[in-house]
Amino acid sequence: MNTSVKGTSVQGTLGNDVIVSPERGARPAPHATHKLKLLLRREFWEHKGGFFWAPIWAGGISLLLTLMALVVGEVAGRRAAASGKLQIDGENIQINGLDLTALTSRMDAKDLQNLAGGIDLSALMASAWPMIVLAFVVFFYCLGSLYDERKDRSVLFWKSLPVSDRDTVLSKAASALLVAPAIAVGVAIILMFAFLAILSVFVLVHNGSPAQLIWGPGRPLELALMLVAAIPLYALWALPTVGWLMLCSAWSRSKPFLWAIMLPVFAGIFVSWFDMMQAFELGSSWFWKNVVARLLLSVVPGSWIDVTHLEGVNVEGPGQLVGLVGIQSMYTAFATPQLWIGVLAGAAMIYGAIRLRRWRDDN
């Protein structure tokens, strides 16, 4: 067989340039975890804006607003005090305590508990922004995860590399369920401490003791731990929504957003109209809550609160309110069928997305 190529003569003229390496064959194949790490890193590169910068911006802005509110309050308070309009009394802890030294000594046990709850709650509120942003980021990330690559045809590049559809889809699911929440939680914790630090400065300015008023009664470390503990719960709870959105993303030829929203919502309307759930002795609200909302809204952090075990927690004031979100009550969600059935459904939909990506054409 004549395999000589006209090109080889060109190669000959370049002589001194040794191009073909003498040893052939592969390096040892990259380890599976190394591949996974790069797949995750790829998602992070592409979505750095949503995963990383968005929670930081949201947190930064909320921190700035808090700071401005405090400064404005401070200025207004001073003016009011100077003109003698404002009476100082110990009831209102937030802004008026222009002289805070006497405050803690005048509080009884219940007041202290309420103060602690109030501080915890406001610290948690301060850290809420990255979490709200997280819900949107994860939702739209999943919706685009397997659609955008087909739309811009970059799927042909990714598919030219020895990475299986399974690994690709799983890396995207892991980015949505673990990487993005972990980053958001990290930002939230930093934000919480920054918020408490600002409060401390404020207290200091008014001759109060931050240790006594803020860091003593508040439980920032516990809250931080709780946020971290929420990550695995989030990963499991959000699975049906992530699975559904990725399935739509892999399946739809255009407008994945419309498909993802319309199908469950129309199913819900249909069920409500014909009272189909009567057959199972369930109201149509059951369908909306356990199917439609789980498919669309489970990416909202804390949306599991409905299934958690809240008996015994009697909310009478901010002191008990934080008990609602304690690790123990939060983890009662792990004992509910709602969580695990959702996990199964989500896993099945992700499997479907893997199968779809295997054969979906780029056009």
Indicate which single residue of 15, 38, 147, 298 sits in contact with other proteins (rule: CB under 8 A): 38
65, 268, 272, 296, 304 from 264: Cα distances, Å: 38, 6, 12, 8, 19
- 335 counts as binding other proteins under rule CB under 8 A: no
Non-local CB neighbours of 356 within 8 Å, separated by 6+ positions: 146, 247, 250, 251
Q: What letters, b where the CB count within 10 A reaches 16 and e where it falls short, cover 193-221?
A: bbbbeebbebbeebebbbeebbbebbbbe
- 14 counts as binding other proteins under rule CB under 8 A: yes
Q: How many CA atoms lie within 13 A of 157 on its CB side?
A: 5
- 35 counts as binding other proteins under rule CB under 8 A: yes
Count of residues touching other proteins (by CB under 8 A)? 46
Indicate which single residue of 156, 258, 269, 282 sits in contact with other proteins (rule: CB under 8 A): 156
- 82 counts as binding other proteins under rule CB under 8 A: no
DSSP 8-state class, residue 88: P
Q: Give the interface segment with other proteins, choosing from 151-159, 265-273, 299-307, 322-330 (CB under 8 A).
A: 151-159
Q: Smallest distance, Å, CB 215 to other proteins?
A: 43
Q: Smallest distance, Å, CB 362 to other proteins?
A: 8
Indicate which single residue of 15, 16, 19, 311 sits in contact with other proteins (rule: CB under 8 A): 19
Indicate which single residue of 22, 84, 162, 337 sits in contact with other proteins (rule: CB under 8 A): 162
User: 215-254 mask for other proteins (x: CB under 8 A)?
Assistant: ----------------------------------------
Residues 251, 349 contacting (CB under 8 angstroms): no
- 255 counts as binding other proteins under rule CB under 8 A: no
How far apart CA 135 and CA 93 sit, in angstroms, is 33
Of residues 36 and 107, the one with the C-beta less far from other proteins:
36
- 24 counts as binding other proteins under rule CB under 8 A: yes
Of residues 84 and 162, the one with the C-beta less far from other proteins:
162
- 26 counts as binding other proteins under rule CB under 8 A: yes
Helix (H, G, I), strand (E, B) or coil at 10: helix
Q: Give the interface segment with other proteins, choosing from 120-128, 136-144, 146-154, 227-235 (CB under 8 A).
A: 146-154
Of residues 159 and 309, the one with the C-beta less far from other proteins:
159
- 27 counts as binding other proteins under rule CB under 8 A: yes
Angle, helices 239-251 vs 256-274, to 10°: value is 120
- 42 counts as binding other proteins under rule CB under 8 A: yes
- End-to-end Cα, the chain, rounded Å: 40
151, 267, 295 from 262: Cα distances, Å: 21, 8, 11
Structure tokens at 171: 């890396």
Q: Smallest distance, Å, CB 32 to other proteins?
A: 11
- 32 counts as binding other proteins under rule CB under 8 A: no
Q: Smallest distance, Å, CB 150 to other proteins?
A: 11
Angle, helices 180-205 vs 128-145, to 10°: value is 160
Of 104, 305, 285, residue with least CA distance to 207: 104
Q: How many CA atoms lie within 13 A of 17 on its CB side?
A: 6
Q: Give the interface segment with other proteins, choosing from 77-85, 113-121, 148-156, 254-262 (CB under 8 A).
A: 148-156
Residues forming contacts to other proteins in the complex (CB under 8 A) are 1-3, 5-7, 10-11, 14, 17, 19-21, 24-30, 34-35, 37-39, 41-42, 45-46, 149, 152-164, 359, 361-362
